[in-house]
Structure 1
């Protein structure tokens, strides 16, 4: 089998299509043939620089859907032929994988492989943001950075499904339509900071209840200045850049959070329950992952180039 291997840190050119022996599952593991891998900004960070819990050389990628091909000793929850999806398994840019059974979730018949692969990482992230990070209530106003991206579009849909109002931020004029189609009530074009006055104008001077900010240090202060008293700044842009700040300078007694999706699904029971919440939203037509582009798995380097260029909208997928 082949996988996308990284031997050294660097640009997309360090990714090489490499042949490996077919893996065999051990106790508690499942052999899976990949059908679709999801591309996440996390993947580019792992390729570019040291990231906690990762080291190189490595096969990159964390998310995908596939079909069970073999079962390791002690696995009883799955059968050969089951369609499965996973949120996080290191080394997912590979034609064949061995994955611990407890990180897999069975895919319902009515959910196709691409939708399953497109929804899990970013969908669970968006679900975490709109429930446990800040529980969206009817009438709340949320600012969503990168509103035409994969996380941003899912966030927008889940905020709207829970009765909230969305002010979407996009980096370029040609992304406005995609953010609006996802459900954003207002879309502002901003490639950095300086948007707080426009947010306040749209909230009658009060500010937003929550800002979901994955855009890095450049937007950090403006996000905070966009919030009302005791608003929540959900900051997840650490792979783009971390700011330095003085806690005494936080405006309006706001709450600052670094929400990690692993805390949303800390157990297998939580993973299955939260994933089924997403599948239920999809069944009801309230959540529709937008596929921005599809690439051959062997062409993952181009997917990374496109993602890092900010030219893409929606979710990028890799197909073996």
Structure 2
């Protein structure tokens, strides 16, 4: 008996998990979690004008698009199998006011983009953000009275905003404001306006996170925000509260729920998915994206591998899908592996 055989016999192993990891085909055969382009939603930043493709400085590889360019890019991403896009406007500062008036304008940037996308790529789902921060001069998601974000008055405006977006062709209304009772009010408003089939994807557990900075840069609210959003977004220390928020939103008519941010809150995603068995989505937010890209640019991470590993982690935690700025690149890579 050789020394090698003696060592092997001495271990006396019957189970050797490494056998299943010995080759690529075997690893694929026993893989527990898979990632597909249909799991991805692409957040798209919009800007006024024509032929515009403005880089977002804090998010390498991400751009603000004018509507004409956005429709072209969305067509390309749809061809890769990405089923839906989420729209976020960079509103001209001159149009922002204390009451978020432009949010209710049927000719605002988001509404015009909805109509353009549905006319050019009708099979792509269009998700629209219901919140007032892109439209307020103070940068908050709700109406401000003194130092307080008023809840019920804000919900009334959010409901009007949701109906306005549905009339423009939005397929999924996504309230991200974290006001109490807004899902029920929006559902009632949509139903009364004969939009019973428009879905609601609620930002049910949205935390007051430090990871939103680049997003606020992209939509132009970094310099306008007065104070912070901790009076309505969730405390990062809380988990049980997330379950209460999700339960309320589902009871009020949400079709899908979201946890935001993503990677720092994988435990929340898992608890929500396991508790409610409802479609649960993760938002891989701008700060998460920016960290991976910055580290990759310094050569500290393999960009492609880090991107795909991060997206797979959301699926492993229980997410039905992921809103991610990586969607075009990840979908192209996945298509290349077919």
Asked if Structure 1 and Structure 2 have the same fold, meaning a TM-score greater than 0.5 normalized by the shorter chain, the answer is no
The higher radius of gyration belongs to: 2
Q: More helix per residue: 1 or 2?
A: 2
TM-score for the superposition, normalised by structure 1: 0.29
TM-score by length of 2: 0.27
Bigger share in strand: 1
